[in-house]
Structure 1
Amino acid sequence: MKLSLRGVGKSYSGRGGATNALAPLDMDVREGEFISLVGPSGCGKSTLLHIVAGLEPATAGAVELDGERVLGPGAEIGLMFQQQTLFPWLSVRENVRFPLTLARNRARAPGGARDRQAARIESLLRLVGLWDFRDGYPAELSGGMQQRAVLARALVVQPEVLLMDEPFGALDAQTREQMQELLLHLIQHHRITTLFVTHDVDEALLLADRVVVFSERPGRVLATLDVTFARAARSSELKLDEAFLHQKREIMALLRGRPRSETQRDRLLFGLTHTQLEQGEGGS
């Protein structure tokens, strides 16, 4: 399912006049593609996700899924936020089942039959490593386990598009890395069309097919970079690869306000210097 944004922009009216949060932008997301959005705080990345989800209207432009305009929330789009959003009075299994009880999602329930729903829930809980905790409650889980449950809940209705807004931002470094590894596994095997907001450039590169870099408010697209690392080769160790570090430097330079032409020039100079150093070391 193709996601298309045409001239999508957002401004807010206040006592001091209008505030432009997001400059009009165009974007096409191919079926199964994973796109990371990075940029300064307040540049409109989360606002863009809310617009795509149908949670708030754009003040300009339109969002379309396979040619159909998105006018409000729907089962085709799954959501996952930084804040833990589980219902504390429901068990893990009941939290994951909850979207299937909503009228708008019943038509998309796997097979419609209760036993097939139960099988789907069990499969997801096993996939995220929570089957043994299915009857526990959110307060009994660690932060990482809670986010695993939220991820399973977002996937239970088999959405066409998954929107993730800093989903791992509140986790400690080790747990965040574990969640990244889990998401890499899901991406490789299920290829869900995903828009992923993060402030972590390493995370953006590790997970994405493309990284979109935004400017300060009003957010506009500074650059879109293709990530060329093979899916099967991606793991936390990739962050130490020289090619990975080159792309990270390019994104960081863009975020600091340097033109992309300069970052590309620096990358070439760095590569030349690195080669010369290697040759020098080999001849000594």
Structure 2
Amino acid sequence: MKLSLRGVSKTYSGRRGETDALAPLDMAVREGEFISLVGPSGCGKSTLLHIAAGLEPATSGAVELDGERVLGPGAEIGLMFQQQTLFPWLSVRENVRFPLTLAHHRGRAAGGAPGRGAARVESLLRLVGLWDFRDSYPAELSGGMQQRAALARALVGKPEVLLMDEPFGALDAQTREQMQELVLHLIQHHRITTLFVTHDVDEALLLSDRVAVFSERPGRVLATLDVTFARAARSSALKLDEAFLHQKREILALLRGRDRFETQRDRLLFGLTNTQSNSGEGGP
């Protein structure tokens, strides 16, 4: 097992007393697997990701990577957040290379020899379509281009696990779809072990091997669903497929706290046609 969370919980203490953010939960991510976490705002999804990254401690339980306990952030885990965290005073190429530079100064040869590190930076910038903008600065890039640079930076140290916290949430619909296609390409060719937080059920189904559905706070896993679509068949067009819509209805029903869609308003709200709602899959 690549990444294992055992009995992980989180309670915050404040002036108004204690707040349980996460109920004790177990989760295991297999090597090369992509798991999305979906659930209501404030249910602890991002908190779980931060604990998995070693950015904050759990109140109880343990996180293990390949059997070794995660006690803090390290090069083995790559991170990508909703708001890009590029350094405005560095060029795109320098931003992507920064983790290798940091590792070198700390005495770790994560990027190998300088020439090999430069080659990897170039390879990733070409992969995400930013090689022609390698000497530009973040302020000169669109939001989508900034997130492409952030993704390249998260991957440059060849992390064993990639943790992504709503990385496309601030993008417009067209740019978000482009980023999803890019991630699909990365998954297809590199099979990076990934834990991905999103509010977008379509996005979760398109990208994932499994989707974990969270309850309201304190967050717990209501269900984990296997995504049944072949990797080779995945593209934005899949979102219109009836099997895709069926799995979407399952997840939305869980999020709304019931097993079935109950009203015509539900069917309209979630984009179901009369034909789909009468198919016997999730209809009243």
Name the TM-score, length of structure 1 as normaliser: 0.91
Paired residues of 1:3 and 1:65 also in contact (CA < 8 A)? yes
Offset at residue 273 of structure 1 (A): 4.1
Letter in structure 2 aligned against 1:199: H
State the 1:109 CA deviation.
2.1
Count of residues in correspondence between the two structures: 267
Distance 1:141 1:180, change over 3 A: same
- Superposition pairs for residues 52-131 of structure 1, below 5 Å? 52-103=52-103, 107=108, 109-110=110-111, 112-131=112-131
2:211 aligned partner: 211
**Residue type of the alignment partner of 1:165:** D
Hey, what does 1:202 align to over in structure 2? 202
RMSD: 1.7
Q: Distance in 2 between matches of 1:106 and 1:36?
A: 34
Give 3-state SS (helix, strand or coil) of 2:184's partner.
Answer: helix
Report the counterpart of residue 33 of structure 2 in structure 1: 33
Q: CA contact under 8 A between 1:7 and 1:61: conserved in structure 2? A: yes
Note the alpha carbon deviations across 1:180-214, whole angstroms, 9 max, x for none: 00000000000000000000000000000000000
Change beyond 3 A, Cα 1:10–1:114? same
The 1-side partners of 2:63 and 2:107 are apart by: 24
Give the superposition deviation at 1:107.
Answer: 3.0
Q: Distance in 1 between matches of 2:96 and 2:107?
A: 14
Alignment of 1:247 with 2:247, yes or no, is yes
| Contact 2:103/2:109 (8 A) holds in 1 | no
Q: Equivalents in 2 of 1:48, 1:106: separation in Å? A: 30
Amino acid at match of 2:93: R
Q: Map Cα deviations across residues 106-158 of structure 1 (whole Å, 9 max, x no partner).
A: 63524x11110010000000000000000000011000000000000000000
Give % identity: 86
Query: What runs of 5+ residues in structure 1 fail to find an aligned partner?
Result: 264-269, 276-284
TM-fit CA distance, 1:271: 7.8
Counterpart AA for 1:200: D
Question: Higher helix proportion, which one?
Answer: 1
2:212 alignment partner AA: V
Distance in 1 of aligned mates of 2:276 and 2:142: 43
Counterpart CA distance in 2 for 1:42 and 1:97 is 34
Aligned-pair distance for 1:103? 3.4
**CA 1:222 to 1:122, structure 2 compared with 1: closer, same or farther past 3 Å?**
same
For residue 166 of structure 1, what is the aligned residue in structure 2? 166
Query: What CA distance in whole angstroms lies between the structure 2 residues aligned with 1:228 and 1:254?
Result: 18
Residue aligned with 2:232, SS: helix
Partners of 2:188 and 2:20 lie apart in 1 by 37
What secondary structure does 1:206 align onto? Answer: helix
User: 1:19: Cα distance to partner?
Assistant: 0.5
Query: Which amino acid counterpart does residue 85 of structure 1 have in structure 2?
Result: T
CA distance in 2, matches of 1:178, 1:16: 43
Scaled by the length of structure 2, the TM-score of the pair is 0.91
Give the match for residue 46 of structure 1.
Answer: 46
Distance 1:251 1:78 in 2: 28
* Counterpart position of 2:3: 3
Cα distance, 1:216–1:272 mapped onto 2, change above 3 Å: closer
Q: Is the 8 A contact 2:89 2:137 kept in 1?
A: yes
Give the secondary-structure state (helix, strand or coil) at the position aligned to 2:174: helix
Report the alpha carbon displacement of residue 14 of structure 1 after superposing the two structures with TM. 1.3
Q: CA deviation at 1:72?
A: 0.2
2:279 to 255, 258, 274: 274
Q: 1:18 to 1:133 in 2, by over 3 A?
A: same
Q: Distance in 2 between matches of 1:125 and 1:62?
A: 35
Q: Deviations over 1:5-51 (max 9, x none)?
A: 10000001112211100000001100000000000000000000000
Determine helix, strand or coil for the equivalent of 1:274: coil
